Structure 1
Amino acid sequence: MLMDFFLSLTERLYSEKHEWVEIDGKLGTIGITDYAQEALGDVVYVQLPDIGAEFAKDDEVGAVESVKAASEVYTPLSGTIREVNTKLEEKPGLINKACYTDGWLFKLEYSKPDEIKSLMNEGAYQEYVKKAKDS
């Protein structure tokens, strides 16, 4: 049973605001989903949060701007920013090319582990996106 819990934490989890998070110990690596980057189009600028800043779940922490739109970025978990992806300052298009790997946005030391339970797994997120597209 305990092993199942740890296995579930290695998978990518998703928020309703189209952010993803991968949990590694007390850190969550966070970015925007493929659905979100596709909707935005070619990303030209990324505003990242300050290292050391503290946020509550669903707080606005930055922004992603593309040639056709701008979108706020929200944190799917409460906690403190520990690292930001500085590569995005020079190459914001990494979000379009590899949103789940090189295009991550920030790493957060989460402070409320129970919030992880409110996030969707891959299957639930795909259903959520499907319903959004159908409506």
Structure 2
Amino acid sequence: MLKLNYTDVGLYMERTMTNPELLMQERVLLAMRLGQTLHVEPGHASFLLPADIPELEVLETALHREYGSVVTLIAVDEEFVEVRLSGSWIAEDKDAHEGMFLTVMSDRTEFLIHKLWQMSEVHISSLA
């Protein structure tokens, strides 16, 4: 499972072997114990990757082989590609910009997406 945490300082992605239903259940229990509201809904999340990462072609090939993939790659311009994922959005309210997004796909695809995101973070950091 990929877990994308959207915060006020940006996106943090991690791969975890936790069952998504169990993770959601734990999050709901935590919110109830703290007296917080919680909004959970199916949805989409996206992030950008530099279009010049050579390993992007490996991901594209893997996605073509995977039936019913929850991932879509969209060319934004010459510099960036948008990776769009289907999954579940968990946040304090429906219109929140900060929250957690969970998606499940094949191990190989999760690994590739996570690896490319890590590479893009290093690439962007070196430009700053």
TM normalised by structure 1 equals 0.32
Q: Using CA pairs below 8 Å that are at least 6 residues apart, which structure has the higher relative contact order?
A: 2
CA radius of gyration, larger in: 2
